Each structure stands twice: as C-alpha cells, then as structure tokens.
C-alpha cells in the first residue's frame, strides 16, 4: 500500500479581504473629507488593493473557488484601473482624463457587477454578505455623487465605505483567528 500525500493549502481569502478592506478604508477616509488624496492612497491601491487581491484571486481560482477567485481578481484589477485613471500616464499621448460623467458610469458598472456578486453571497456567511451588500451601496452612492456633482453624496459614500472596508477586515481577521484557534472567536454567521 502506498501512502497518499496530501498538502494542506492555506486560505488566500483573508489576504484578499485585508487588501480590499484596508485600501477601501483609506480611500473612503478621503471621500468622507477626513484625509487628502495622496501617494499613500495610491500606493496602497497598487500594493494591497491591487497586487494582494490579484494574488489571492489567482490562488482561489487554482483551488477551484470561482466566486472568490473572480471577486478578488476583479477588485484587484479595479484598484489598478482606478490608480491609472487618477495618474493618467497616457495624458502626453493625448488621452484625456476621466470626466465626472465617465467616472459615474465606471462606478455604476462596478456597482452592477458587485450587486450580482452580492446575490452569490446569499450562499455564504453573513459577514461576506455584509461586505458585498455594503460595497454595492458604496458604488451606487459614488456613481450618484459623480453623476449629480453633489459632494454631499460622495461624503456619505465615504462614511459608508469606511464601514464596508471595516467589515472586510473583520471578516479577514475572523477567518484567520477562528482557524488559528480552532474555535469561533469572531462570529461570521
């Protein structure tokens, strides 16, 4: 008889959730008017918002998890595209920056995608439902803020986004510590 060797694969979800949550909080501190937009948010968007989520997403796809793989990879690429929009490295080639109307449509499309992902979370725990539900609301509010030019809507979105990011961090920490201690220290529902 031959002994089968099995390798336990680590859960990449917490890395993706931390990348998403930490970056979302920082960006929405700006949207809420509490921090200026700075290289700190841009760098976090490239590293944790982008790269960490893409790595987590690819790992999830390799483990056969289509939902988490799609979510982390897509939102990681969202962050990279958002940074490109802000920096616009193609300006010298004559490509103009995004208008408020264009940003409204950009954010609305992400909101529609997120709403359908939220529907997928109805088969997941409550903590994941809160992340995707609040993210759907965030994208819709940000789109409305850009479509209307009403900065008060963007400010409200900022506070809602801080909640969304914090819910992702809670979910990540819950997964890490619950697995580490082998018991439910952070209820995820």
CB atoms within 10 A of CB 91: 10
Is residue 103's pLDDT more than 80?
yes
With beta carbons less than 8 A apart as the criterion, state whether 168 and 20 touch. yes
**Domains in the chain: boundaries:** 13-181
- Separation CA 165–CA 169 (nearest Å): 6
Whole-prediction pTM: 0.94
Mean pLDDT, rounded, for 153-164: 98
The predicted structure's pLDDT at residue 6: 77
- Separation CA 114–CA 138 (nearest Å): 10
The encoded tokens of residue 122 equal 């109805």
The predicted structure's pLDDT at residue 8: 84
The predicted structure's pLDDT at residue 74: 98
Is residue 3's pLDDT more than 80?
no
With beta carbons less than 8 A apart as the criterion, state whether 94 and 47 touch. no
pLDDT digits (tens, 9 = 90+) for 42-101: 999 999 999 999 999 999 999 999 999 999 999 999 999 999 999 999 999 999 999 999
Higher pLDDT: 9 or 159? It is 159
């Amino acid at each position: 008889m031959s002994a089968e060797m099995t390798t336990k694969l680590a859960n990449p979800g917490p890395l993706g959730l931390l990348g998403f949550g930490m970056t979302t909080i920082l960006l929405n501190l700006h949207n809420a008017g509490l921090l200026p937009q700075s290289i700190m948010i841009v760098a976090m968007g490239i590293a944790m918002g982008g790269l960490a989520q893409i790595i987590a997403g690819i790992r999830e796809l390799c483990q056969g998890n289509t939902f988490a793989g799609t979510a982390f990879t897509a939102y990681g690429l969202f962050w990279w595209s958002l940074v490109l929009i802000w920096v616009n490295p193609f300006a010298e080639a004559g490509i103009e920056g995004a208008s408020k109307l264009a940003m409204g449509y950009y954010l609305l499309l992400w909101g529609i995608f997120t709403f359908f992902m939220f529907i997928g979370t109805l088969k997941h725990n409550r903590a994941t439902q809160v992340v995707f539900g609040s993210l759907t609301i965030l994208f819709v509010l940000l789109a409305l803020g850009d479509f209307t030019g009403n900065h008060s809507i963007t400010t409200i979105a900022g506070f809602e986004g801080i909640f969304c990011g914090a819910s992702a961090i809670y979910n990540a920490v819950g997964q890490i510590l619950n697995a580490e201690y082998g018991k439910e220290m952070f209820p995820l529902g």
